[in-house]
Amino acid sequence: MTTAPPPEFVKRPTPVRKANRAIDERFGTQAGLRRNLNKVFPDHWSFMIGEIALYSFIVLLLTGIYLTLFFDPSNTEVIYNGSYVPLKGVEMSRAYASTLDISFDTRAGLVFRQIHHWAALVFVGSIVVHLLRVFFTGAYRKPREVNWLIGVGLLVLGILEGFAGYSLPDDLLSGTGLRIAASIAQSIPIIGTWASFMLFNGEFPGANFLPRLYVIHILLVPGILLALIGAHMGILWHQKHTDFPGPGKTEHNVVGHRVFPIFAVKSGGFFMMVFAMLALLGGLAQINPIWMFGPYDPSKVSSASQPDWYIGFLDGSTRLMPPWEFRGLGHTVPAVFWPTAVLPGILFTLLALYPFLEARFTGDTKSHNLLQRPRDTPVRTALGAMSISFYLVLWISGGNDVIAKTFSISLNAMTWAGRIGLIIVPPIAYAVTKKLCIGLQEKDAEIAHHGIETGIIRQLPSGEFVEDHRPKPELVPDHPHVPTDRYALPSANGHDDGHGKGLARRAGKAVSGFFVEEKEPGTPGHDTPAGSEKH
């Protein structure tokens, strides 16, 4: 191609250009600005999950700042005299009273409190789903192991932050959670008692513990989270995003949209959508109605106390743990130590080390920018399914009393099912997933060799019936496995796009527009300016 001459230097700059030039005179921004605005981000719906986590974090910051203006993290006992009649005259901490005030007597208080809580659930949830996406596609491989480690740190801190947050209102549910947390801290061998006393400033419930928890929740952990998120994004920006293999995509390029303008506008829109979803949830779906639990009282507990979802797996592991308490030599290692301190320690360590373990066992020391399909890595996928099933057994067991009550099952049976399930379900998940992956690989290979079944049965003149196969599509030189979901399969309706008719067709197309970014052109060539480009 011919190089175009540089655009003319505008002699009479508009205010925006003036500002740009003023900044450039001071910082020399133009080349870097252009490079960053022209950065290309690939397009795939699954890359948005991490964005959801980021955006819900921003919503958490915004709503959290609002809540700090009204919340009083004080253990001082007061007599409630707000507008929630059932609790009038009840003695409670100022923390609980101010949470009630936020919920009933502050303009837009309840909606922002509920958005904050929903955003926390979505934050941790989207981190987990994002982690699964990264895991199953092998996005954590070299050179991105550090970002994987940061991500694991973000997950752990997100869980801690969420726990600290829902413990702040000092209601009955959160106080019970803190009591268990104190018992867990106390259970650590040798340092446990000191750890618990240092955390709570004395024997549980401690002296002026809530201000301390408040600092952890609004300063310490968010600060670290913010720094780690910054590092996570910075590394992503520097290393460029991974992408699925596809036409024209290689290990050495990125195909997609530039940051400015399309990616920026789309991402801005996604942020707004996440915010809108959280706003709707916060306005319409009640969450953590602390006024129904009452103030914390160590002598009371509500039945079916459930923590937020991301703590559930620890609750489950605690419930399933057999009563194995080590006693001897004048010391005790409580049963609660193993499922709540050792188990998550092992789980998160394994999670953090996984990229290095995989590289060690596969001997793969190369850098990778193209993602893998889960079926192409059966062992990894099976390990992932195994881990998920392990986690799910724990998580379901965290609500086994609710399940037992709802379905009239014996609670003991639920506990035993969980204990046995924890041992036998993961290996089954491993075996089944591996078989499934290999089966899918075989199907891919068959398509590659014989083409795609069309479902069209033809009778030959000889009377023999044969099924037509579409010839296999051309292999793209960059990657031997073309994902089958990009094959345009023949459809019955004649539109050739797999959608139905009328309104349903339009709706289907609109929805699939969010998921399918690239389609084979329906009739090759009709949209191409003739001879404009050569292959």
Partner 1 sequence: MSDQTDPGEPGPAGAGGGDQPAGSASERMDYLGYQGEPADKADQDSMSSIFKRAKHPVDTSGAPAGGSGVSAGGPDVAAGTSDGPEALGTPPHQTDSSRIPETTAMRPAGGHGGGVTPRPPRAEDVDRRAERRAERLIAFWFMISVVGTVGFVITNFVGDKHKQYYTPCLGSALGMAVGGLGIGMILWAKRLMPHEQAVQERHEFTSSKEEIATTEAELTAGFADTGLARLPLLRRTLLGAGTVLGGLVVVPLLNLTNAKPGKKLDHTSWVKGARLVTEDGRFIKLGDVSIGGIETVFPALPVTGADGTVSYEPRTDVQTKADSTTLLIRLPPGIDRPRKGREDWSIDGHVAYSKICSHAGCPVSLYEQQTHHLLCPCHQSVFDVLDGCRAIFGPASRSLPQLAIAADANGFLYARNGDYDEPVGAAFWERS
Distance CA 418, CA 431 (A): 20
Rule CB under 8 A: say whether 230 interacts with partner 1: no
Rule CB under 8 A: say whether 176 interacts with partner 1: yes
Rule CB under 8 A: say whether 180 interacts with partner 1: yes
Distance CA 116, CA 107 (A): 15
Which three-class secondary structure state does DSSP give residue 291? helix
Give the range of 15-23, 265-273, 341-349, 374-382 binding partner 1 by CB under 8 A: 265-273
**Which is closer to partner 1, CB of 69 or CB of 460?**
69
Rule CB under 8 A: say whether 439 interacts with partner 1: no
**Which is closer to partner 1, CB of 101 or CB of 358?**
101
Distance CA 233, CA 89 (A): 50
**Which is closer to partner 1, CB of 297 or CB of 468?**
297
Among positions 373-392, residues that touch partner 1 (CB under 8 A) are none
**Which is closer to partner 1, CB of 441 or CB of 487?**
487
Q: Nearest 5 degrees, angle CA 13-CA 15-CA 21? A: 65
Rule CB under 8 A: say whether 110 interacts with partner 1: yes
Give me 38's structure tokens: 């022209």
Give the range of 121-129, 311-319, 422-430, 450-458 binding partner 1 by CB under 8 A: 311-319
Q: With contact defined as beta carbons under 8 Å apart, do 53 and 127 qualify?
A: yes
The one among 193, 349, 491, 512 contacting partner 1 by CB under 8 A: 193
Give the range of 130-138, 213-221, 345-353, 513-521 binding partner 1 by CB under 8 A: 513-521
Helix 411-450 × helix 312-320 angle, to 10°: 120
**Which is closer to partner 1, CB of 132 or CB of 422?**
422
Rule CB under 8 A: say whether 365 interacts with partner 1: no
Q: Which long-range contacts (CB under 8 A, 24 or more apart) does 55-58 make?
A: 55/270, 55/271, 55/274, 55/275, 56/119, 56/120, 56/122, 56/123, 56/126, 56/274, 56/278, 57/119, 57/123, 57/225, 57/229, 58/271
Rule CB under 8 A: say whether 335 interacts with partner 1: yes
* Chain centre to alpha carbon of residue 388: 14
Q: Are strands 465-470 and 91-93 parallel, antiparallel or unpaired?
A: unpaired
**Which is closer to partner 1, CB of 201 or CB of 349?**
201
Give the range of 44-52, 121-129, 215-223, 335-343 binding partner 1 by CB under 8 A: 335-343
**Which is closer to partner 1, CB of 13 or CB of 32?**
32
Among positions 404-433, residues that touch partner 1 (CB under 8 A) are 411-412, 415
The one among 7, 15, 86, 463 contacting partner 1 by CB under 8 A: 7
**Which is closer to partner 1, CB of 492 or CB of 530?**
530
**Which is closer to partner 1, CB of 76 or CB of 468?**
76
Give the range of 33-41, 148-156, 420-428, 447-455 binding partner 1 by CB under 8 A: 33-41
Rule CB under 8 A: say whether 284 interacts with partner 1: yes
**Which is closer to partner 1, CB of 268 or CB of 480?**
268
CA-nearest of 276, 282, 309 to 117 is 282
Site track for partner 1 across 52-91, x = CB under 8 A: -------------------------------x--------
Q: With contact defined as beta carbons under 8 Å apart, do 373 and 485 qualify?
A: no
Distances (CA, A) of 73 to 111, 170, 445: 20, 9, 62
Distance CA 254, CA 498 (A): 29
The one among 2, 14, 365, 462 contacting partner 1 by CB under 8 A: 2
Give the range of 225-233, 252-260, 343-351, 355-363 binding partner 1 by CB under 8 A: 252-260
Site track for partner 1 across 484-503, x = CB under 8 A: --x-----------------
End-to-end CA distance of the chain: 15
Q: Which residues of 139-161 are buried (b: 16+ CB within 10 A; e: fewer)?
A: bbbeebbebbbbbbbbbebbbbb
Residues binding partner 1: number (CB under 8 A): 145
Rule CB under 8 A: say whether 258 interacts with partner 1: yes
Q: Which long-range contacts (CB under 8 A, 24 or more apart) does 480-484 make?
A: 481/245, 481/373, 481/376, 481/444, 482/245, 482/246, 482/247, 483/244, 483/245, 483/246, 483/373, 484/444, 484/447
Minimum gap (Å) between residue 384 Cβ and partner 1: 27
Rule CB under 8 A: say whether 309 interacts with partner 1: no
Distances (CA, A) of 129 to 46, 189, 495: 9, 34, 34
Rule CB under 8 A: say whether 319 interacts with partner 1: yes
Minimum gap (Å) between residue 282 Cβ and partner 1: 5
Q: With contact defined as beta carbons under 8 Å apart, do 340 and 317 qualify?
A: yes
Rule CB under 8 A: say whether 336 interacts with partner 1: yes
**Is the dihedral angle over the CA atoms 390, 383, 444, 242 positive or is it negative?**
positive
Query: Looking up tokens 């001897």, which residue turns up?
Result: 328
Minimum gap (Å) between residue 225 Cβ and partner 1: 22
